[in-house]
């Protein structure tokens, strides 16, 4: 599958700290397209922070809201969407991603991801390295399963990654 000359959304997936938000913003500027960060959009829609949603309705409640948001964004005109790292957890989301756009996996190792994440308090599922490693291992096959293209981000700048993605579209 290809992005069909950007006639559909491009979804960025990958583990927390992969650079989905930064890369999509940078690429949006290069392409003259809009970029939307799913979690930011979700927080505005809900009027509360992701960490508060987790505290109030748990991960299951968060996943339900996340799927509603994904459906909304998948129906929009071509734009770049940076997804939450857990978007691939639910089968229903993997189906929506595959059917709605071009999916780019930004791959990152857990140690590098940890060094990129300045504020762990906003990420309820990235609290310590052991748990993050287990989660990353569980997610790896799911990212691979849904990705149309994968870019290894190890040691690369946001600009270099955005340029690499641009050539894939
Ligand atoms: C999550 C990743 C977060 C956010 C939520 C859950 C996950 O997004 O959606 O904390 O399950 O991996 P980022 O990947 O943007 O940090």
User: What DSSP string runs through the chain?
Assistant: ---TTTTS-EEEE-STTS-HHHHHHHHHHHHT--EEEHHHHHHHHHTS-HHHHHHHHHHHHHHHHHHHHHHHHHTSSS-EEEPPTTTTSSHHHHHHHHHHSEEEEEE--HHHHHHH-S-GGG-TT-SSHHHHHHHHHHHHHHHHHH-SEEEE-TT--HHHHHHHHHHH-
Query: What number of residues does the chain have?
Result: 169
Report the residue among 39, 56, 83, 89 best suited for mutation to probe ligand 1: largest number of ligand atoms under 8 A from its CB. 39
Confidence band (pLDDT; 50, 70, 90) for 1? very low
pLDDT digits 0-9 by tens, 123-141? 999 999 999 999 999 999 9
For the chain, what is the radius of gyration of the CA atoms?
A: 15
What six digits make up the tokens of 127? Answer: 């609290």
What pTM was estimated for this model as a whole? Answer: 0.95
ipTM of the complex: 0.97
Q: Rounded to whole angstroms, what are the CA distances from 7 to 29, 58, 85? A: 17, 36, 24
All domains in the chain, ordered by first residue:
10-168 (3.40.50.300)
39 is in an annotated binding site: yes
- Identify the residue whose C-alpha is closest to ligand 1 atom 8: 84
Atom of ligand 1 nearest to the CA of 15: 14
Residues near 142 by beta carbon (within 8 Å), at least 6 away in sequence: 88, 89, 94
- Identify the residue whose C-alpha is closest to ligand 1 atom 2: 85
CA 159 remoteness from chain centre: 17
Atom of ligand 1 nearest to the CA of 14: 14
pLDDT digits 0-9 by tens, 45-93? 999 999 999 999 999 999 999 999 999 999 988 899 999 999 999 999 9
């Amino acid at each position: 599958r290809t992005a069909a000359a950007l006639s559909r959304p491009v979804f960025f997936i990958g583990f927390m700290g992969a650079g989905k938000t930064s890369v999509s913003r940078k690429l949006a500027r290069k392409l003259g397209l809009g970029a939307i960060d799913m979690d930011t959009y979700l927080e505005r829609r809900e009027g509360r922070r992701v960490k508060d949603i987790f505290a109030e309705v748990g991960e299951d409640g968060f996943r339900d809201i996340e799927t509603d948001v994904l459906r909304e964004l998948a129906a929009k005109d071509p734009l770049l969407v940076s997804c939450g790292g857990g978007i691939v957890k639910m089968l229903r989301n993997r189906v929506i991603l595959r059917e709605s756009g071009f999916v780019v996996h930004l791959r990152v190792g857990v140690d590098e991801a940890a060094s990129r994440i300045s504020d762990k308090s906003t990420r309820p599922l990235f609290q310590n390295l052991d748990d993050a490693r287990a989660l990353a291992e569980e997610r790896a096959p799911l990212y691979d399963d849904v990705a149309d293209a994968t870019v290894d981000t190890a040691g690369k700048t946001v600009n270099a990654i955005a340029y690499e993605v641009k050539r894939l579209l």
